[in-house]
Structure 1
């Protein structure tokens, strides 16, 4: 069999297309604004995005991106190590470090590359990497690259500090990196950061919290580390700009020596072009807006709680709580895809999530600051009208 035979034999996506239930790569026309988006020429309520603070259409953020293009052009035109480093990058890094309470920060071209670049650069021969079993794919892939360099990779039970402590005790003389999401983007639950910090301090392990989905939402915009009261005690924090910071790219925050080490050793940093001027400026403008709103609880949280309570009252045994994400589980792929398609046809867009991205077939509902009570009431009306179709499928997993 030649290498590409597996591609020709791949049929899973075609099976969904053949029955009209393929949910992936939808082509939206324009931005999601006011909680609404346009798909196939029809308006839908966007309940599948990660723009929790609804800043991707903010006038200041858009203006900052436009101004950066006018002043710097469209590209950094090279890796930051050589010729692609801009004062825009360094200004954003300084403000990130200040806002989140770290000595220094380092920007990468994507959030995914941030985690790959940090984990693979820090862990190698003789080191151990411990991942929450539900950790984001970027942390997992970074750990596999570290394994290729000789690191041992372990998984601990989801959000279980006791299991982590048991495993660390078995390798207590070795250097160890522990990595977890801050908010798990599909489940919507938060890592027990305070307990994980205590375990890591007990065993001398370095804790990395990927707070891609917590930044902007929790802890006065500073994320789950701040909310857990662990500011100054978690040595490594990563984030992406593609959620609440309304852009592209990502960053790691740590002490100055660690950042300098990563700046000169992380291959995704060294061998990738620097983040574009527009993306950098947009993320910086969004960060300023998050800082400005720091004392006000995000509307995304109250919107999600409002919707969660309404769905529960309708008989939907929805999971989650305390985050912008509401997961809805289904027993199999067909029932989940059918529900997703039915909702789209009635003007509500949700994310279809399949294993291995999560441990079951789920519709992921995510709220943002743009989901006003009027928008949510329209969504609730759709779920109410579809109870006869959706509840029988849903209750098979209740």
Structure 2
């Protein structure tokens, strides 16, 4: 037999001379990924056609049908208007209202969506599932869609700020398993995400703060200009629920949301599958998964992220990467946005050490911990020690006490 290698369309065939066994093949393929993020306020106004023709890869026409999975709270507030929209445009919909909060972000919720897809008899080429709700809901539906028949298209319509600027624009899906945050999940981009800020007007202030935490993340590691916007306008746009009730508030809200989304997509696009593990968007997500799961149901996701950022701000201050003045600015802005910088789970050093070890396992044996360098820049470190964590926790506790961030005080503010 001859020895050699042949190539055809990414298929490599090695022909052996018989001494080391039979022939072997290596398959190489590239799958193109394209998804759309479309901004359209008043999405379900009868004369708004963005949902019909705003995404070239998922048009919707009269006579079509859709399965719509909707957060049960969103259904109570907007369900009638949404049903009227589809009726007006002669699209037959089956609605599945679903409870979707962190305590039920689990496998059983995924199965409910899978059962609904199966009962609906989805044509997985032409009938994308619509997910209308916050980040938990879109994560559950995206995960179910990625599993059903090895991949069914879906469309996200986030109704929370954290969904608009974070959960709704990436490609990850996931649900919790045990005490593991998003331990089960896939990479499954939605065909399109439609962003409608008018949904935010019915959110409680705490949930506006929850989303502003993820905007704060992008500011601290990527954009001093975005941080300055939050410093100047954050409290006002929070009170206005980003509705733009005046010209100045509209301009500030537009700038804050658009810049946060642009920075997020700029970071995600070249590394969608996370093959490169030094990701600055992991800032705030080193300790927060463990903190959030151990504090449930006390903390929302963004609140846990802010506590993580407060801790790593203290860590960066001790290392000289942030001045004390810069750190104090960060804590002041967090307070103005209604976000906590302390939770009593931080008082357990063993928990934080375990959180860091879990992150190391997730990041291929290295900490790859993003830390701010000044405001708007970052670097990665791999040498954080338990002693440093204890010192940073002690510093943060003192700062939190000065700022009045006791757990009881925070509960009164956020309830």
Q: TM class by shorter-chain length?
A: 0.3 to 0.5
TM-score normalized by structure 1? Answer: 0.37
**Relative CO higher for 1 or 2, CA cutoff 8 Å, sep ≥ 6?**
1
TM-score calculated relative to the size of structure 2: 0.36
